[in-house]
Amino acid sequence: MVKAKLNSYHAHGNELKSLKEKLKLMKVDLKVWICEVFGNLDTTKKKILKVIEKLDIQDASSDLSKGDKLKRMDLISQLRVTNKKLESLFKQKARVNWFKHGDSNLKYYHYIIRWRRLRNAVKGVDVGGQWSEDSEVVRREVKTLFDNRFKATQNLGVRLGDVDFRSLSLEDSLSLISTFSMDEVKEAVWHVMNQKALGQMGSTLTSSRIVGMFSNMIL
């Protein structure tokens, strides 16, 4: 279509002027062609959605006829095609806009990058009261700084000697590793059958003893 239209135009002047005139005429013909072939896509989409909504309301109140169901399926297919056309149109408009105006954030983006680079740059260091901007000196001092910052040390500065941790008694500790009898298992299981959890004073076995028994059973 484009090639046929361009060949049908007759413009006067040199080649550059002739091409310019032909492109102007092509722009007008393309607008007419788009309206004839595609129409107003936004209006078309609104009309399709409106009809589908009416059919959905009708379907909710009563059963649709076979013809209405086929009509709704056809409308859904048209809506899918219209959405694809709109998506393609938006992409083309965005591409044309980018070619015309470029990246509107290009200057600002590079300004921010340059500002961050200048802010984070280490131009010099103070060594023994003397300012130095020599790259080798700066590199060495930065490496020394991070070596000292992340060096492992034995003196962590944390003492837990005065903290009173809760611990098991010697009897409970020994009961965790001692053998247990089937009578103890039976008594422990039967004791919890009538309640959700062991009471603090209701069991003849200590909690640590029961934990040890069931741990040994699992292992």
pLDDT in tens, 92-106: 777 777 766 666 566
Q: Measured between alpha carbons, how far is 192 from 198 in angstroms, rounded to an integer?
A: 6
pLDDT of residue 107: 72
Reported confidence tier of residue 83, pLDDT bands at 50, 70, 90: confident
Would residue 152 be called left, alpha or beta, if left means φ above 0 and alpha means ψ between -120 and 50 degrees? Answer: beta
**Domain spans of the chain?**
2-103, 104-125+132-147, 170-218
Asked whether the CA dihedral 40, 42, 45, 51 is positive or negative, the reply is negative
pLDDT of residue 64: 76
pLDDT in tens, 107-118: 777 777 888 888
The two structure tokens encoding residue 120 = 């984070």
Between helix 207-218 and helix 182-191 the angle, nearest 10°, is: 110
- The gap from C-alpha 189 to its chain's centroid, in whole angstroms, comes to 50
Q: Measured between alpha carbons, how far is 28 from 133 in angstroms, rounded to an integer?
A: 64
Task: Report, as an integer, the average pLDDT of 122-142.
Answer: 85
pLDDT in tens, 152-206: 666 666 677 777 778 888 888 888 888 878 888 888 777 765 555 555 545 444 4
Residue 217 has pLDDT above 60, yes or no: no
Half-sphere exposure of 82 (CA within 13 A, CB side): 17
pLDDT in tens, 24-52: 888 888 878 777 776 778 888 888 899 98
Residue 132 has pLDDT above 80, yes or no: yes
